[in-house]
Amino acid sequence: RTLQDFLGHACVETTMIYLHVMEDQQDLTVSPLDALEGSS
């Protein structure tokens, strides 16, 4: 419930929606460190 309080959501369902969206977007996130892996 700590994350729910931090985000200011009254309902845990709202927090779960955001967590689901964040998990979907995680696969699309590119780290600048990924470019360094092939440069050595």
CA–CA distances in Å: residue 23 to residues 5, 17, 19, 20, 39: 20, 10, 6, 5, 29
pLDDT at residue 20 in the model? 76
Query: Both tokens of residue 36?
Result: 């360094």
User: pLDDT for 1-40, tens place per residue?
Assistant: 688 898 899 999 998 888 877 766 666 677 888 788 666 5
Q: Where are the domains of the chain?
A: 1-25
pLDDT at residue 8 in the model? 93
pLDDT at residue 33 in the model? 83
